[in-house]
């Protein structure tokens, strides 16, 4: 909705009604002011209806045998008030909700993404975070022959380690079903993050929306914490 236009129409109607009463009290009813009011009324009613005012408040103009033209400005002024404060309602009356602090993300993620984030290059921030995790994972495993999703696949593989192929294991008794579930989940989370977020960040054009980019950074942060806490087995 064009709130500025709506508000201007209601304010103009209020001013026109005031002008009508001034003329009417001074000189009696005049046809020109009546015509202007009736011409403006349909738009005013549409606006009040769009704002959700009840049907009873949409009878702005009326005719009385004893009073002549009647004008109900109460809903018009109520509509002006709604339009004036509507934006503030969204800010000040929104329910409390948790917020994600960027500097609370894992350092591998935020330290890499921060410069791009502060310059509002959100896709580049996601790509930098993914690249940082890849570098830390390579360093942790001592491998430079693989990267990104393939490196994650090798790192979290349930296969036994081989020469030159160390593995990551989540903490806990490895025969425990819960530990095995977390191990599979870490593998799927890592591959999903690289396939769904890192690859588009590297190859697609156009920037991400801020909220979407923050959600992707949060996913990489969860992955970074998993990798950071895992044990290397050789």
Phi-psi region of 160 (alpha: psi -120 to 50; beta: other; left: phi over 0): beta
CA 173 to chain centre: 41
pLDDT at 205 over 90: no
Q: What is residue 167's predicted lDDT score, i.e. its pLDDT?
A: 97
* Angle, CA of 171, 173 and 179, to the nearest 5°: 65
The mean predicted confidence, pLDDT, of the chain is 92
**Least confidently predicted of 20-29, 70-79, 208-217, 220-229:** 20-29
pLDDT at 183 over 80: yes
- Which of 27, 28, 24, 59 shows the shortest CA–CA distance to 41? 59
- Which of 19, 24, 48 shows the shortest CA–CA distance to 36? 19
Q: Is 227 exposed, middle or buried (0-12, 13-18, 19+ CB in 10 A)?
A: buried
CA distance 106 to 219: 10
CA distance 17 to 30: 12
Mean pLDDT of all residues in 225-229: 97
Q: Is 180 exposed, middle or buried (0-12, 13-18, 19+ CB in 10 A)?
A: middle
- Whether the predicted model's global pTM rises above the 0.75 cut: no
CA distance 86 to 65: 39
Mean pLDDT of all residues in 92-120: 90
């Amino acid at each position: 909705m064009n709130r500025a236009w709506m508000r201007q129409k209601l304010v103009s109607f209020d001013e026109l009604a005031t002008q009508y009463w001034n003329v009417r009290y001074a000189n009696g009813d005049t046809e020109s002011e009546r015509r202007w009011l009736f011409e403006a009324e349909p738009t005013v009613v549409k606006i009040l209806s769009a704002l959700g005012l009840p049907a009873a408040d949409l009878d702005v103009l009326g005719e009385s045998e004893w009073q002549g033209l009647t004008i109900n400005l109460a809903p018009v002024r109520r509509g002006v008030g709604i339009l004036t404060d509507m934006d503030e309602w969204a800010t000040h009356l929104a329910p409390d909700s948790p917020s994600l602090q960027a500097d609370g993300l894992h350092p591998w993620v935020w330290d890499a993404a921060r410069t791009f984030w502060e310059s509002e290059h959100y896709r580049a921030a996601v790509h930098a975070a993914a690249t940082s995790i890849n570098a830390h994972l390579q360093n942790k495993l001592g491998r430079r022959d693989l990267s990104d999703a393939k490196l994650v696949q090798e790192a979290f593989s349930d296969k036994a380690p081989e020469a030159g192929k160390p593995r990551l294991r989540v903490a806990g008794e490895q025969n425990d079903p819960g530990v095995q579930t977390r191990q599979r989940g870490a593998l799927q989370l890592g591959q999903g993050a690289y396939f769904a977020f890192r690859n588009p960040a590297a190859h697609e054009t156009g920037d991400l929306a801020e909220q979407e980019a923050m959600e992707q950074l949060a996913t990489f942060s969860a992955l970074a914490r998993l990798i950071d806490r895992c044990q290397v087995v050789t």
